[in-house]
Amino acid sequence: MRRAESPTGAESLTRAIEAISLVDHHVHGAWADDVSRRQFEELITESDRPVPGWMTQFDSQVGFAVLRHCAPVLGLDPGPDPETYLARRAELGAEEVNRRLLTASGIGHFLVETGHRGDEILGPAQMAAVAGRPADEIVRLEPIAERVVAAGTDAAGFAGRFEEALWERSRTARGLKTVVAYRHGLDFDPRPPTPAEVTEAAGRWLRASDRSGTIRLDDPVLLRHLIWTGLERGLPLQFHIGLGDPDIDLRRSDPLLLRGLIELAEPREVPLLLLHCYPFHRHAGYLAHVYPNVYFDVGLGVNYTGARSVAVVAESLETAPFAKVLFSSDAWGPAELHHLGALLWRRAMIRVLSEFVAEGEWSENQAVRVATMIGAQNARRVYGLGEKV
């Protein structure tokens, strides 16, 4: 890590990377309403526990990054105290805050995953309206199955209804997403279950849902079935990997556990996109190196490592071919996270690639080209977004 100023040539590299119209290939909606300090602190952590009285989430890499980099967008000097920052935020109002942070991010296209508490945040159309940039949808598999059950089905009818619902729900979607890492872990039998196994598992699920009154899909047979149906649908398929809220058993989210599925899915040529991956991002890079159907990003790991995201991004530029690495913010809620996702990624790329250039390892042209591939072009190709308008 070094300062971005570095040798002369670095200025043009900096300008080029700052000018990339990013494709954020995995992001969620911004929070529409004003927030209290407590709410805000709970939205800048993956922990779902109340913030203990003896600490503040502002004392963290992401907290420092908010105060440093978002304050100027709201018209403050960099690095105010949290109270000042939140007072200014309230004064401007959520709508203006969202507009400023999203437009200043330089994100040119949002692929909005709508499956996590989607009713509390802006949808794709609203994101497009606020940011003034196109927003398409990524559809999460598991809620579709849960809505099929909520709407009423018998076990034998589940598979057909799910297929129908998936096709309908994903009509205009750019990709699909699975959270099998949360619901079970990645250590599942990779083979497609038989129809009889699916019916049997659906029956178990229906009976358990009746008993408990809650509909939550965590049966590994059905989760596999969703993935294989998703592969049949043929859209790029995103996998949550690594870092996430404590609902995840991080140990069972190592992407290397997906090897069997990757190999079985390979003949279908459906892009498999491994999201976040921290702290297993080197494992993901290896998979992207050897399997043509594997891509990855360090999404969520960038925001939560703040000033250290330079190291995380650097580690994502090791064994994977550059055509297999993507950019995402995985922001959910405060538009600060959308803004920082883009800003920290750019700063990290500028620092890492400036080093390569300063050391004489890469040319500046190569650096700009790779940053553009990762920041936009790879996603445009994978999701069929066409050339930038």
**Among 32, 147, 307, 380, which residue sits at the site for a second copy (rule: CB under 8 A)?**
307
**Among 73, 370, 376, 379, which residue sits at the site for a second copy (rule: CB under 8 A)?**
370
Pattern 277-296, binding to a second copy, x per CB under 8 A? -xx--xx--x--xxxx----
C-beta of 265 vs 370, nearer to a second copy = 370
Q: Shortest approach of a second copy to residue 240 CB, angstroms?
A: 14
The answer to whether 380 and 23 have CB atoms below 8 angstroms apart is: yes
Verify binding: residue 317, a second copy, rule CB under 8 A: yes
**Among 373, 376, 379, 385, which residue sits at the site for a second copy (rule: CB under 8 A)?**
373
Nearest to 97 by CA among 164, 34, 190, 175: 34
Q: Report 186-245 residues binding a second copy (CB under 8 A).
A: 243, 245
C-beta of 45 vs 209, nearer to a second copy = 45
Q: Shortest approach of a second copy to residue 199 CB, angstroms?
A: 32
User: Which position has the token pair 């940053």?
Assistant: 371
Q: Shortest approach of a second copy to residue 165 CB, angstroms?
A: 32
Length of the chain in terms of residues written:
389
The single-letter code of the amino acid at 276 is H
Verify binding: residue 355, a second copy, rule CB under 8 A: yes
Q: Shortest approach of a second copy to residue 385 CB, angstroms?
A: 14
Instruction: Please give the structure tokens belonging to residue 316.
Output: 């994502």
Within a 13 Å sphere around the CA of 103, how many CA atoms are in the beta-carbon half? 12
**Among 2, 38, 117, 388, which residue sits at the site for a second copy (rule: CB under 8 A)?**
2
Verify binding: residue 256, a second copy, rule CB under 8 A: yes
Q: Report 22-51 residues binding a second copy (CB under 8 A).
A: 45-50
Verify binding: residue 274, a second copy, rule CB under 8 A: no
C-beta of 305 vs 329, nearer to a second copy = 305
Verify binding: residue 387, a second copy, rule CB under 8 A: no
β-sheet bridge partners, residue 23 = 109
Q: Report 49-88 residues binding a second copy (CB under 8 A).
A: 49-50, 52, 54-57, 59-61, 64-65, 68, 78-79
The single-letter code of the amino acid at 29 is G
Counting runs of H as helices and runs of E as strands, what totals does the chain give?
18, 7
Return d(Cα 275, Cα 303) in angstroms, integer: 13
Instruction: Please give the structure tokens belonging to residue 73.
Output: 């967008």
Helix (H, G, I), strand (E, B) or coil at 70: helix
The answer to whether 202 and 163 have CB atoms below 8 angstroms apart is: no
The answer to whether 303 and 329 have CB atoms below 8 angstroms apart is: yes
Phi, psi of 126 (to 5 degrees): -65, -40
